[in-house]
Homo-oligomer: A and B are copies of this chain.
Amino acid sequence: MARAGSAKAQRMERLQAELAQGRALHISAVSKLLEVSEMTVRRDIQQNPGKLGYLGGYVVPRGMFEPENSYTLDMAADQQRDAKRRACEIALRHVRAEETIFIDCGTTLIELVDLIPNDMRLTVVCYALNVAERLAHKPNVTLVMLGGVYYPASATFFGPEALATISSLGINVALLSAAGFDWARGATCAHFHEAEIKRKVMATASRNILVIDTSKIGRLRSVLFAESTSFDAIVTELSGDETSQHPAS
């Protein structure tokens, strides 16, 4: 019987944590790290498809690459990923070099981080762990993180200090995401503390831009954080090449 905390499961967890920053580890390094044979590493990964990728002789974080041949190919990848990336491409046009921007949490805006050119100088404020991880590698980005208590559900930090910090920052552009959006009701998200951060940021930032893929439209989540009219722009993957829609300008 496979218990919850079996040796294998622990190894997988540890490996995933190890690769969280987007590093690749050679199988020999993994073998030493986990103190098991290389054979076991291979078997672990084969038997947990989807959790980690394997490429050549290297273990790589999942979701980063989709090798065609590798036996890790599980394609559980986000169906909306392309849509999200396109939306992010368009949203990025609202950002100019040397500005201070806020990047919200969620799977949508993570895509934006990769799209920031390496030579673009920016100050980026975030409160999601996975966003910070990726931003940490950008050479010309000054990363500011809001601290607090960690909420695994959204991979974010939250606390009174975070809220206080926000108002002390000068944010030019806030890029916000939403789990649901409705023109009549507004933008909603799933977690209360998330909403609190978003509201505070929106009150501070000069320009507020909602970045969503169209699958979010019409959906409703538990916490409303902004009216439709409070955004300076709403960007989706279908937003044209113009400066996109300005429902409230």
Residue ranges of A at the interface with B (Cβ–Cβ < 8 Å): 5, 10, 13-14, 16-18, 20-26, 29, 32-33, 55-58, 60-61, 63-71, 74-75, 78, 82, 85, 113-114, 118-119, 127, 129-130, 132-137, 142-150, 152, 155, 157, 159, 161-162, 164-165
B150 touches A26 (CB 8 A): no
Please report the C-alpha to C-alpha distance between residue A149 and residue B23 in the assembled complex, in whole angstroms: 23
Which of the residues B5, B70, B130, B144 comes within 8 Å of A25, measured between beta carbons?
B70
Which secondary structure dominates chain A's binding surface?
Answer: mixed
Take A32-B78, A71-B26 as given contacts and tell me if A20 and B134 are in contact as well, using a CB distance cutoff of 8 Å: yes
> How long is the Cα–Cα vector from A69 to B58 in the complex, in angstroms?
10
Asked if B147 and A161 sit within 8 Å, CB to CB, the answer is yes
- Chain copies in the assembly? 2
Contacts of A143 in B (CB 8 A): 149-150
Asked whether A67 lies within 8 Å of B161 as measured between CB atoms, the reply is no
Specify the chain B residue showing the minimal Cβ separation from A165: B161
Inter-chain CA distance A142–B149, complex, in Å, is 7
Residues of B within 8 A of A58 (CB): 55-56, 65, 67
Chain B neighbourhood of A155, CB < 8 A: 136
In the A-B complex, the 3 residue pairs with the closest CB atoms? A56-B56, A147-B147, A143-B150
Which of B20, B118, B148 is in CB contact (< 8 Å) with A147? B148
Nearest Cβ distance between residue A12 and chain B, in whole angstroms? 11
Chain B residues with CB under 8 Å of A135's CB are 150
